[in-house]
Structure 1
C-alpha cells in the first residue's frame, strides 16, 4: 500500500469568494444543488439534491443524525450593574449545571449571576457562575420554575455559525426534518436537504433509513491553528447508536448493500464505532474525538452526503481522507467556478466510490 503523504494545514486551503457563503436557506430544502463526486476517478456531475434517488440502490442504507439543535443563545442582564450578557450553552455537565461561553467573560467571575426574561424583578430563569474554563468558558447553574427545555424555547435563539450574518426567519430551517433528540450546539447541516417526501421515496426504492445521534459541539467551528495537522487536538462530541440500528447496518453490509452517511457527524459516529469493534457495529455510546484525515482506515462508510466546508477545516480533511486531496480540491474549484452555495445553508455533495 502506498504511504500517505504528510500534509500540512496549507494543503487544505482554497479560495472562496465571500458572496458564495449562503446566508439563508433555500425555499425548498431538496432544491439545493448536488455535486456528485466519484472518489475513485475524481469525475464529477452537476445535479440537484432531489436527483439523489438515482444514485441509491435497493439494499443500501441511508444513515441520519437525529440530533436537534438547542436554541442555545441566551441574552441576559447582570442584576448588579444592569449590563448585558450573552450566554451560549455548550453542553449539560450535570443536573442544572451547563458548560457555557459567556460574553463578556471577564465580567462573569465565579459567584456572579445573570437573569433571563423580560421582567428583571421576576426573571424566568437565573444563572449563577460556579466555575471557569478557558476561552471565556463558564460553568453556570440555572434556577427556574418548570421544565428547562420549555423555558429555553421561550428565551433562546438558534446559535447560527459565525459566518451567517442574516437573521433566520424560521427557526426550524436550522433543524433537519427528522431531528428529535435535543443536544446540539450546531446543526448536522448535510441533513437539511432531506424532506419527508424524498425520504419516503428513498424507502419506496428499497433503501433503508437508519438513525443515530451525535450532538454537534461548537468545536466543529474552531479553526485548526497548527500547521502540522497531526498536532491538532480534536473536540469531543457525544454519540449514541442503538442495537437495532447496528443490526440493520450489519445486515446491509453482509448482503452487499452500502452504508451511506448523511453528513460528517454520521461518519464520525459510524467510524468511531467501526474502529472500536473492527468494522462490526454494535450498540454503543460515549464521547468521540476521532480525527479523520488522509491515511485514515475506513471500516464502515461506503458513500456519503456532505455540504461544502470551510478552507483548512478538519471537515475538508475528513472528505479528503475518502476522496484524496486532489480530487476534493478539484471538485471545490469547480463548485466555486459554478457558483455553488457554501457552508451550512449551502449546497451538497454526494461522494461515492
Structure 2
C-alpha cells in the first residue's frame, strides 16, 4: 500500500482543502477496495504540531503523525494557505525542509491553490511550471520570480510536482491524482459522487482582472490609467511613451517589469474584462460587445477572449449571463 500524507501547516486558517482531500481520497479508497479488494493509499494527516486551530479557534485539526516519524512517503498534499504567506513560510521551516528531503527521496508533491507559496519557498518550483489562485498571481510572481507561473492555469504536472488553481478547483487536481494513482473508473466515480466537472482545465473564466497596480512605478501607473480610460480606442504606445518623455523601448521594459504584461497585452486584458462584464449583465450579442470594447475583427476578438478566459465569447455569455 502507498503512503499519502496531507500536510497540516502551522498557523493557517483554511480547513476546506485538508478536509476535502481526506474525504475524496477516502472515498476513492473505499470504491477501489470494493472493486479490487485492496486500498491504494494509507492516508495520514501530518505536521509538526499535534493540533492546529482554524478560524480563530472555531475549528481544529488533529494530526495523526509528526513528519519526523514518517519514513517512506509516496505522495504529499499541501493544502491552501491563508493570505499571510510570509507568516506561513516563517511558521513552517521544518515542513519546508522536509519537503525538500522527501522530494529528493522520490516522493511526489501536490499543492492546492496557495499552498504553492509554501512549496515555492523550498526552491523546488524554481524553473518549473506552477499554478495558483488567480488573485494571488502578481504577489506570487514578485516573491518567486524563478517560477514559471501559468496565468489562469488549473493543473500542472511536471517531474512529480503537481499544482492547481484557486479555491475549490483543487477538487479537479484530486481527481487528476485519483486517475493516476487508482484508475479512470475510480476518478469518474468520484466525479459523480462529489459532482465535480471532470473536464475543467482552466480557471481563467473565473478570474477578475484587477489592474496589476501593486508596484511603485508612477509612470506605469499613469500609463495604465490612460489605457483603462481609453481602452475602446486605438492607442499609440509610441506616442504614450513620448508623453512621458521616455523611449518606447524603456517604456515597454518598465511596463513589463511592473505588470508582467506588454502594454498591448494589458490593453487586451482591459478590453476582455469589459467584454466579460457586458456578457454577464446585458443582452447584447457578440458583435455588439465586440464593437463596444474596441474590436472590429470577429476572429481576433474571439481568439483573444478565449486565450484570456478559456471560453469562447458565446460560451462565456451562455454560462455567466444573469438575464
TM exceeding 0.5: no
Which of the two has greater strand per residue?
A: 1
Tell which has more relative contact order, 1 or 2 (C-alpha 8 A, sep 6+): 1
Which of the two has greater helix per residue?
A: 2
